[in-house]
Structure 1
Amino acid sequence: MRLIADSGSTKTDWCVVDDGMEICRVTGQGINPFQQDEETIRDIIHNDVVRRLKDVYLIDEICFYGAGCRDRMICVLEKLLSNAFDKADRIEVCSDMLGAARALFGESEGIACILGTGSNSCLYDGKRITANVPPLGYILGDEGSGAVLGRLFVNALFKGLLPDEIRYRFQEETGYDQAYIINKVYREPMANRFLAGLSVFIHKHLDNKEMKDLVIRNFKNFFKHNVMMYRRQDLPVSAVGSIAFYYKEELEEAAMSLGYKLVNVMKSPMDGLIKF
């Protein structure tokens, strides 16, 4: 049996597959070796997967796609997975970007994008990633992501760039004021998740022109700073992630305005990875 994992900063989807058939699927905490120490990751694997899956001893192959899976971090995760699943004789740890590309394009060429809490993109030749513009995280980059969308929204909200009605509704529906948000962002961990969580309110009020324009501007920045850098306007663009999925219409509008064709949007890459 094969265990496939798709891990982002917020959550990890684990799926057990046997002969191409899905046996079971569980969701747990996000795993990122750049943000979490080995003990934390070990506990997540044990509590979210090992304790919840039946017949763990039958798993002989693991494919883990995750954020932060680069260089020596790959060895760290390989070791932790090997310790947790000692019967597995083949363990492959790859970037979440390669997982997204495989899920979206299979063995075809294209520009693959991740738009969730964070963002990323790559040029994919059907087998491997041939180019990757560094996303740089939500402070230095991550254009198009939920975290950056939340940051742009908070900036516009408290600097008076959005209608008063939106500000009143936001405070009424969430109870968040400026002091609370600043504390969450600057003093508490996982500020990127908090900011991305504001997309729920944003999506609810897309009927407001200023809010819709904010979303489209975020996506245009993603294309300008990432997708357009590959200089392959001839290739199809596909995206995976909750932000891409729930804001598909706005993403299509941003892509079209810059001369790109969005051909596929998936909420999660797991279904595509099962087929790959």
Structure 2
Amino acid sequence: MTTSYSHCQLIADSGSTKTDWALLAGETLVCQCQTQGINPFHQSAEVIDRVLREELLPSLPPEATVGHVAFYGSGLRPELQPMMRQLLMSVFLHTDVQAEGDLLGAARAVCGRAEGIACILGTGANSGLYDGQNIVMNTPPLGYILGDEGSGAVLGRQFLNLIFKESAQSALREAFLSEFHLTMADVIDRVYRQPLANRWLASLSPFIHRNLDRDGVRSMVIDNFRQFFRRNLTAYQRQDLPVGFVGSMAFHYCSELKVAAEAEGYCIGTVLKSPLEGLIAYHQAENF
């Protein structure tokens, strides 16, 4: 017998590389699936429409009726949200659609409906003061050249500076160059001449994590996080609130993050590798 799912909620956590989807029927998780990334800042409406129709729809149970879509995405600036809503409504007819930025998604995932400070620490970094419903204050992250303290890209940059400038790190430098089959000239070329240098710098994080016990490495990671607190969260003047995090940097370096938070006078709340788990819990409590 075929199960009928009426008035389901469809939740999306989207980045440039992939989009994770979850379908809820009341409090029941019906299914999860994945499509390529959707980023309206970089993709045309035609490309996004094709992803929705050719990748997403075939992955959903044909007997499910979607009544509400909650889409959270990177690159989804306020001026692009109406376009994203229209694209989703053209695929899911007569459906209520929310299209929000990834920072609000992170806040709902780690804070729920309570006040808090929500942060994203992955390749890049971002933060916002959340009043339980909306992001009411945001320190501009400024990207990995001007800002993005706490991010994987900045950590990679600091690591390269450490191993190439401090003679005491010669053994670690040789281990790094050997594992990645690089020379210093290759590193310079990769950072200054090749595209997506921020992603490449962030990709060094697993090597850094495996070498945390080397002299100076763990303290460098902690200092990167301390700079994040100082440069981004001080403006909120709310050290009384828990600070929640999503992203690979926060998840894999959780112990170093907690040391940095304590040193700067903050209390860590929920830490998630991906916000989808928290978003599922958030939307399970809603009735549409």
- Note whether the superposition's TM-score is higher than 0.5: yes
Kindly provide the CA deviation profile for residues 120-174 of structure 1, in whole angstroms up to 9, marking residues without a partner as x: 1111111111111111222222111112212222233333466112111112222
Q: Shift in Å at residue 39 of structure 1?
A: 4.2
The equivalent residue for 1:221 is 227
Aligned length: 275
Q: Is it true that 1:61 corresponds to 2:68 in the alignment?
A: yes
* Matched residue, 2:266: 260
Cα drift, residue 40 of structure 1 = 4.2
Name the structure 2 match of 1:125: 131
State the identity %.
48
Query: Does 1:16 pair with 2:23?
Result: yes
**Structure 1 contact 120–134 (Cα < 8 Å) conserved:** yes
Question: Are residue 179 (structure 1) and residue 185 (structure 2) matched?
Answer: yes
Query: Counterpart of 1:151?
Result: 157
Equivalent residue number for residue 246 of structure 1: 252
Query: What code does the residue aligned with 1:12 have?
Result: T
- 1:106 alignment counterpart: 112
Residue identity matched to 2:139 = V
Range that drifts further, 2-11 or 258-267 = 2-11
Distance in structure 2 (CA, Å) of the matches to 1:161 and 1:65: 45
Alpha-carbon spacing, 1:27–1:210, altered in 2? closer, same or farther (3 Å): farther
2-side partners of 1:191 and 1:275: how far apart? 35
| Cα distance in structure 2, aligned partners of 1:51 and 1:137 | 36
8 Å Cα contact 1:10/1:117 also seen in 2 = no
* Secondary structure of residue in 2 paired with 1:114: strand
The answer (yes or no) to whether the contact 1:156–1:162 under 8 Å persists in 2 is no
Contact 1:65 / 1:95 at 8 angstroms: preserved in 2? yes
Structure 2 contact 162–169 (Cα < 8 Å) conserved: no
Q: Go from structure 1 to structure 2 and tell me whether the alpha carbon gap of 1:174 and 1:261 turns closer, same or farther (over 3 Å shift).
A: same
| Superposition deviation, residue 36 in structure 1 | 3.6
Question: Is the partner of 1:59 in helix, strand or coil?
Answer: strand
Establish whether residue 79 from structure 1 lines up as the match of residue 86 from structure 2. Answer: yes
One-letter identity of the residue aligned with 1:11: K
Q: TM-score, normalised by structure 1?
A: 0.90
How far is 1:103 from its partner? 1.1
Rounded Cα–Cα distance in structure 2 between residues aligned with 1:163 and 1:35: 40
- RMSD over aligned CA atoms reads 2.2
Asked whether the equivalents of residues 118 and 244 of structure 2 are also in contact (C-alpha less than 8 Å), the reply is yes
Identify the residue that residue 272 of structure 1 maps to in structure 2. 278
Equivalent residues of 1:57, 1:87 under 8 A apart: no
Aligned to 1:3: 10
Q: Distance in 2 between matches of 1:227 and 1:52?
A: 40
Aligned residue type for 1:24:
C
Q: Structure 2, unaligned stretches of length 5 or more?
A: 1-7, 283-288
Q: For residue 136 of structure 1, what is the aligned residue in structure 2?
A: 142
Structure number with bigger Rg? 2
Task: Report the Cα offset of residue 187 of structure 1.
Answer: 3.8
Distance 1:169 1:42 in 2: 46
Against the structure 1 CA distance between its residues 193 and 80, is the aligned structure 2 distance closer, same or farther, given a 3 Å change threshold? farther
Q: Give the alignment's TM-score, normalised by structure 2.
A: 0.87
Q: Which amino acid aligns with 2:34?
A: T
